[in-house]
Amino acid sequence: MRKGMCVVLGLTLAFTVSAQAQVWDELADGGGDAGDVLPLQQTPGPPDVPLVAITGTIDSSTDVDCYSIFIPAPTAFFATTVGTPGTLSDTQLFLFDKRLDPTGAGPLGIIMNDDHPGGGTLRSTLTGGVGVSGPEDFGSVPAPGSYMLCVTGFNRDPVSPGGTIWAPGSVGGSFAWESEPIGPYAGPGAPGPHIGWTGSTGTGTYFIELGGVATKPEPGTLSLLALGGLALLRRRRS
């Protein structure tokens, strides 16, 4: 059997054995309140399994809960509180790139949503593609990888050293806290690295339904994936 095929079969077997879907609970699984800035976020586990939901509680006017997630295929990604259980009626969702900005001060904002882009609810939806969940869905996830997903209630918002990230006026003047930003506002073009939060939130429980999300892979799996990719490349070139 060719080496590349062995690697692919090995990966398939490893994934099948450990592929039970995980619902992560902030208290029961995380052991307490999830932190609100890198690296105080919770990291749902076990590694390498589909992550289908995260549940928890916004328990004070300043609480924000953040989680490490892995997005293997950006176009399949979504995170939503629309139609899910939970007493927190007006949610907000934020996705940050876990790689630090060039100054090392913090992660950069990728996409956010306050009220669902399709309208009709104060709950929130993020998608990996543009326009998937409604005409106001402007954001996208740029590449497969590890991200930090944060949930809070309206109106507790992320800040950078220069002020509010995704603040009205900072992204073209028409910003209304709906599914901004992306494009020039993502990654290196975002107004600044995330260092904290401002404003206050209502309290209550939340249930974030997830699609196209896995728990963080083990480092060995990433190496194996890279090896598999190399093997496939070599096969194509030979």
Which residues on adjacent β-strands are paired with residue 211? 78
Exposed, middle or buried, 107 (CB in 10 Å: 0-12/13-18/19+)? buried
Compare residues 51 and 64 and give the one whose CB is closer to Ca ion.
64
CA 233 – CA 114 distance, rounded (Å):
42
Compare residues 10 and 31 and give the one whose CB is closer to Ca ion.
31
Interacting residues with Ca ion (CB under 5 A)? 33-34, 63, 65, 90, 114-115, 122, 154
Write down the least CB distance from residue 179 to Ca ion, Å: 11
Write down the least CB distance from residue 167 to Ca ion, Å: 17
Compare residues 81 and 160 and give the one whose CB is closer to Ca ion.
81
**Under a CB-based contact definition with an 8 Å cutoff, are residues 12 and 19 in contact?**
no
CA 213 – CA 66 distance, rounded (Å):
15
Write down the least CB distance from residue 86 to Ca ion, Å: 12
Quick one: which of 179, 160, 210, 195 has its CA closest to 92? 179
Token pair recorded at residue 150: 């944060």
Compare residues 93 and 141 and give the one whose CB is closer to Ca ion.
93
> How far apart, in Å, are the Cα atoms of 24 and each of 30, 68, 83?
8, 11, 18
- Given the DSSP bridges, would you call strands 78-80 and 125-127 parallel, antiparallel or unpaired? antiparallel
Compare residues 178 and 218 and give the one whose CB is closer to Ca ion.
178
Token pair recorded at residue 53: 């939901």
Write down the least CB distance from residue 50 to Ca ion, Å: 23
Write down the least CB distance from residue 190 to Ca ion, Å: 21
Sign of torsion over alpha carbons 99, 101, 107, 111: negative
CA 178 – CA 117 distance, rounded (Å):
7
Compare residues 48 and 157 and give the one whose CB is closer to Ca ion.
157
Write down the least CB distance from residue 85 to Ca ion, Å: 16
**Gyration radius from the chain CA atoms:** 18
Residues recorded for the chain = 238
Compare residues 34 and 210 and give the one whose CB is closer to Ca ion.
34
Write down the least CB distance from residue 62 to Ca ion, Å: 9
